[in-house]
Chains A and B, each alone.
Chain A
């Protein structure tokens, strides 16, 4: 039981390049999330998927797209990377969909640098 896994762990991009961050969970959770963590700002929600087939914007969705490929996988795509997207990206999952009592479990994070 690996929990939530993310690939890659580190990535350096040039401005304008695109890339996809991958996330998978093996806990049979319904909901999945993408956050970014910037220094001094805690974590901010980019997108979330309450259940397979649905996605919704979070606090900071601009410049990102997501795909809930199946129940296990939730990917985050940067179409044209910008230096402002330099951050640590965390994927998370929780058991139920749309309920506040769920505990979110996090992956190890992806450290992305955009030059």
Chain B
């Protein structure tokens, strides 16, 4: 069975602060993919990043960075110098190569960036 845990239900920061969103996953598969999606107040789901289980190289894209550690089954997401427009619900998701093909989502972290 797959499971994704986002222990932080809500986070509130002041603009320009850095913030890290935690994601811990469980899977028995050796091949799997991890995703982060953003859901702004408008409600749509926006794809941010995909990482496969064979690539632990961390990535930076502008103000976003991701820290993937297989040893701790974590795939954390950091926003540097946060902005008000970053306010959204962020979802971590897991997809494995098992026969039951489905994307398993965490419960989401509501990030509020205050001006």
Residues of A within 8 A of B (CB): 33, 40-45, 48, 50, 56, 58-59, 88, 90, 92, 98-109, 111
Contacts and interface: CB of A to CB of B under 8 A. Distances in A.
Interface in B24-51: 31-33, 35, 37, 43-45, 47, 50
A100 B107 contact: no
Q: Name B's interface SS.
A: strand
A76 to B, nearest CB: 16
User: Is the contact region of chain A dominated by helix, strand, or loop, or is it mixed?
Assistant: loop
Interface residues of B, number: 25
Nearest to A106: B45
Given A43-B105, A44-B105, A100 B43 contact: no
A48 B101 contact: yes
Contact of A48 (B91, B96, B102): B102
Contact of B102 (A58, A101, A108): A58
A26 to B, nearest CB: 16
Contacts of A98: 101
26 contacts: A40-B9, A41-B107, A42-B4, A42-B91, A42-B107, A43-B45, A43-B91, A43-B105, A44-B105, A50-B101, A88-B43, A92-B45, A100-B32, A100-B33, A100-B95, A100-B101, A101-B50, A101-B52, A103-B35, A103-B50, A104-B47, A105-B47, A106-B45, A107-B44, A108-B43, A108-B44
Interface in B46-105: 47, 50, 52, 91, 93, 95-97, 101-103, 105
